[in-house]
Structure 1
């Protein structure tokens, strides 16, 4: 994105962009701006994905870079509170995005939103698999050490013999001053 020859899109090929080479950092700023329409976003993503599908390499990395804020929010949401290794789930979020990059229908609206959901689904499946996996010995030792801090005790007795408590409850209910109207 920097240097004498940054990677650029041809703005003339994307409706809504200036008819000049547009560096990727400028394109990213345009795509997240409030005034950017969904049509412009979809046209830009269709352009980027078409280049990624045909040329691979640089354009695939460009797609990941421009989608990084979305991918990070998905990965963060999925692993919030997860105590295991988050890296595998984050990798699966990226894998889902990259797989769907080759399959997403470019003629339907909300291209990035559909890529986001593909990344989420893939990451979610990885999270479920991680949660369903058997615990490692180290994890079991940690859980055991944590639970040793809490001790169980028998329930506190509520004063008196159970029959005396029952008789007191019946007396309270059958008292004329306690009857419902």
Structure 2
């Protein structure tokens, strides 16, 4: 059965389950090597098929270390190893997603498939970008993002306000104008030398776009830890510059020269590390 078959499930959740079944049966089912996920996780030893692993986790709701280890690997693979792992990650979370959908559908007369699709979209968005694998409980964060997406859909499709009653609606009826333009401040920081121009797009993607760090680090050819350290250094320099008013007022020639000298020093330090240290972590500065 393929996506183009008339028998392919119309329900988004059922379609994920069907695709997962296809990926985890046959001569080469998708598996995880649990030995590679670290020690002291409480996971069984060896290689386990994903459906069996899902069942193992469902039977052990208090196995927090095991769940975190499995989900960090699932998210990492979904971000770096292609669509099959995206489907696998969604299917591994399907029991929780179906439970959220059931709760949200209570008292709602809309199309169940539309709500399920919105929940799935929220999960996929968090899976692609928003869940930080350096924090605990990635599975809970993904499922909460899915629930929020479904809840927001219900809020948007709530009772309409009749036109004749619009004057009695409390609260502002005009959109709020956002204060400031963070992307412009970051670009000005780059012009002042607070971050290298090669770091500008990664910084905007990570800090303003809330994109996932793993694909960006892979694209730059450095480790996630190295990129995280680099971004944290930029955070500190931008915060210091904001506190001194360097990004929101005219910068004196002396201050500009000092910032440029510091940028040159950082660039030379990074270049020196790259030439004396092997491996991608060399460019972390």
TM-score (norm 2): 0.45
Task: Please tell me whether Structure 1 or Structure 2 has the larger radius of gyration of its CA atoms.
Answer: 1
TM-fit CA distance, 1:86 = 2.3
TM-fit CA distance, 1:26 = 1.4
TM-fit CA distance, 1:35 = 6.9
Please name the residue that 2:146 is paired with.
119
Secondary structure of the corresponding residue to residue 131 of structure 1: coil
RMSD: 1.9
Please name the residue that 1:65 is paired with.
91
Please show how residues 22-171 of structure 1 align to structure 2 within 5 Å: 22-34=48-60, 37-102=63-128, 103-132=130-159
Q: How many residue pairs get matched?
A: 135
Contact 1:7–1:24, Cα closer than 8 Å, also in 2: yes
TM-fit CA distance, 1:60 = 0.4
Unaligned runs of 5+ in 2: 1-23, 163-285
Secondary structure of the corresponding residue to residue 109 of structure 2: coil
TM-fit CA distance, 1:27 = 0.9
TM-fit CA distance, 1:84 = 1.8
What is the CA–CA distance in structure 2 between the aligned matches of 1:67 and 1:59, rounded to whole Å? 12
TM-fit CA distance, 1:33 = 2.0
Unaligned runs of 5+ in 1: 136-181
What is the CA–CA distance in structure 2 between the aligned matches of 1:36 and 1:26, rounded to whole Å? 17
TM-score (norm 1): 0.69
